[in-house]
A and B are shown apart, each in its own frame.
Chain A
Amino acid sequence: EPEVTQTPSHQVTQMGQEVILRCVPISNHLYFYWYRQILGQKVEFLVSFYNNEISEKSEIFDDQFSVERPDGSNFTLKIRSTKLEDSAMYFCASSDPWVGETQYFGPGTRLLVL
C-alpha cells in the first residue's frame, strides 16, 4: 500500500539554525499538507499546497516557514531561525481529491530545538 514517507525521523538543532523537513507524498496525490503537534497538544494545521502554490496557511505559518516542491516527488518544509517553541512533531500529509478527502499522514519528524 502506498504511503507518505518523511525524513529525518528525528532532528535536533540549535536555536537560530535552519532546518528542512522532507516528505515524499503518495505518488498520484495532488494536495499536500504540513501539520505540527507540540507534545501533549492537538494536531495543528500549518499549510496546504496545490498546483505548486500555497492554497491556505495558518497564523502559525509566518515568514519563518516556507514550503517547496523542488521536484516531482519531494515536498519540503523549511523553518528558518528555529525557536525553542518550534519543538514539535511535524506531519506531512497528502490527498487525492479525485478519490475523496482522506488525508494520509506520514510518520512524522520529531524536531527538538535546543
Chain B
Amino acid sequence: RKEVEQDPGPFNVPEGATVAFNCTYSNSASQSFFWYRQDCRKEPKLLMSVYSSGNEDGRFTAQLNRASQYISLLIRDSKLSDSATYLCVVNPSQGSSNTGKLIFGQGTTLQVKP
C-alpha cells in the first residue's frame, strides 16, 4: 500500500463548482497532515494544515478521519486561479522521532474552466 495515496484526476470543473479531493495514508501513527498546492514546474506551497476537528480557510475546508486514515479537501466556488495540482502530505513521525520528513501523495490535478 502506498504511504499516501490520491486520485491523480484530472478533475475538470466549471468556475463556481464545488470539488472534493480525497487522500488515504498508511501509517496510523502519523500526526501531522497538510494540503500543499503545486503549480506546473513550481515548488509546493502550503495551502493548509489539517486538524483533527477539521478546519476551514475561506473557500477551502479540510477534514481528517483518523479511524479511516483519510484526509479530504473541499474547494467551494472554484476560481480559474485554483487550477493546480493539490498534494496530500503527511508527516509520519511523532514525538522525539519527528525529523520533519514529509511524505507526499502523487497529487490531484484540478482544472477549472470558464
Tally of B interface residues using CB under 8 Å: 22
Q: Which residues of B contact A (CB under 8 A)?
A: 32, 34, 38, 41-46, 49, 87, 91, 93, 99-107
Bound Cα distance from A95 to B43, whole angstroms: 15
Tally of A interface residues using CB under 8 Å: 27
Q: Could you say which residues of chain A place their CB within 8 Å of the CB of B93?
A: 56
Given known A42-B105, A42-B106, contact A101–B100 (CB-CB < 8 A): yes
Q: Which residues of A contact B (CB under 8 A)?
A: 31, 33, 35, 41-45, 48, 50, 55-56, 58, 89, 91, 95, 97, 100-108, 110
Nearest A residue to B38, CB-CB: A43
Q: Could you say which residues of chain B place their CB within 8 Å of the CB of A95?
A: 100
Q: Could you say which residues of chain A place their CB within 8 Å of the CB of B87?
A: 42-43
Given known A41-B106, A101-B32, A101-B91, contact A31–B100 (CB-CB < 8 A): yes
The contact of A103 among B38, B42, B100, B107, by CB within 8 Å, is B100
Could you tell me if A105 and B43 are in contact, using CB atoms closer than 8 angstroms? yes
